[in-house]
């Protein structure tokens, strides 16, 4: 597991207790992904890869109440938060990395993954999805594109050369990885979601809650904290982008479905 992914796993493990109270973006994007699904027959077995505390599982059970569900996440405290019985059906749980899932080939009819791919190598993720799906299986996932957190990059420009947020993959690279794994693209929706916050504290808290921070306030691979002067310049640059609704934070959302 990469150093970045290890850091993300630790962050999600620490936030398991408070995750449901703050994961509004994750829930909204999950709803958009569900709405983007093409017509599909009832899957007998469904895998939620990167399930968190189980919101996606509830959505999937509402859509297909008789489908057998498997919940997978690399943060054990997240899995522990899933109710043993969600929406009336038992959910099996597995703690593992989505790049190396411990299931036999052709085990699932639907592989669902909401806001997980950004922590992964797209080619490895695509290869695992193709291995686990049995024809005519469906892969449905959401992730974030490089337009995400553009406000933060603008604010940090000219202050330092550190990377302060995760680098997100371009849609073309993700689609190429999925096709290279032998899957056929059926849905590609690129949507922009903008959230507004009353102050910088709440804006940065949301970035941390989604696990995408790379040392905001301290810089990436910085040996010490950001200096007071630099931090004030950053705050001023963020405030300069304020709108009537508040401080904006952009999410470039990619909703993708592919068939085996």
Q: What does the pLDDT profile of the chain (260 residues) look like in tens digits?
A: 666 667 667 767 676 666 767 788 999 999 999 999 998 889 999 999 999 989 999 999 999 989 999 999 999 988 988 875 555 557 899 999 999 999 999 999 999 999 999 889 999 999 999 999 999 999 999 999 999 999 999 998 878 777 777 789 999 999 999 999 999 999 999 999 999 999 999 999 888 777 655 544 444 444 445 678 888 999 999 999 999 999 999 999 999 999 99
* Number of structural domains the chain divides into: 1
* CATH assignment at residue 21: 3.40.50.150
The residue range of the domain holding 79 is: 3-145+168-193+250-259
pLDDT given at position 10: 72
> Phi and psi for 163 in degrees, rounded to 5?
-90, 120
**Residue 102 falls within a domain, yes or no?**
yes
**Residue 28, Cβ density class (10 Å: 0-12 exposed, 13-18 middle, ≥19 buried):** middle
**Residue 109 falls within a domain, yes or no?**
yes
pLDDT given at position 90: 74
**Residue 223 falls within a domain, yes or no?**
no
pLDDT given at position 159: 82
**Residue 114 falls within a domain, yes or no?**
yes
Whole-model pTM: value is: 0.89
* Cβ atoms within 10 Å, residue 79: 20
**Residue 73 falls within a domain, yes or no?**
yes
Buried b (16+ CB within 10 A) or exposed e, 202-229: ebbebbebbbbbbbbebbbeeeeebeee
**Residue 124 falls within a domain, yes or no?**
yes
**Residue 162 falls within a domain, yes or no?**
no
pLDDT given at position 16: 65
HSE (CB half, 13 Å, CA atoms) of 212? 28
**Residue 228 falls within a domain, yes or no?**
no
């Amino acid at each position: 597991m990469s150093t970045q992914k290890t850091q993300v796993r630790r962050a999600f493990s620490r936030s398991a207790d408070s995750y449901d109270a703050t994961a509004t973006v994750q829930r909204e994007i999950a709803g958009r992904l569900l709405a983007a699904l093409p017509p599909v027959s009832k899957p007998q077995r469904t895998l939620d890869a990167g399930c968190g505390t189980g919101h996606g599982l509830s959505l999937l059970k509402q859509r297909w109440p008789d489908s057998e569900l498997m919940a997978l996440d690399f943060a054990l405290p997240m899995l522990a938060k899933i109710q043993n019985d969600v929406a009336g059906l038992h959910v099996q749980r597995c703690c593992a990395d989505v790049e190396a899932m411990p299931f036999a080939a052709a085990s699932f009819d639907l592989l669902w993954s909401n806001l997980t791919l950004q922590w992964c190598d797209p080619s490895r993720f695509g290869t695992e999805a193709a291995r686990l799906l049995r024809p005519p299986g469906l892969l449905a996932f959401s992730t974030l594109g490089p337009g995400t957190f553009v406000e933060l990059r603008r604010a940090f420009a000219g202050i330092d050369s550190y990377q302060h947020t995760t680098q997100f993959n371009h849609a073309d690279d993700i689609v190429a990885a999925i096709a290279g794994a032998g899957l056929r693209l059926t849905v590609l929706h690129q949507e922009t979601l903008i959230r507004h916050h009353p102050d910088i504290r709440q804006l940065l808290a949301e970035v941390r809650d989604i696990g995408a921070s790379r040392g905001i306030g301290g810089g990436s691979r910085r040996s010490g904290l950001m200096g007071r002067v630099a931090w004030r310049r950053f705050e001023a640059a963020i405030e300069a982008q304020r709108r009537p609704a508040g401080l904006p934070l952009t999410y470039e959302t990619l909703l993708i479905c592919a068939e085996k």
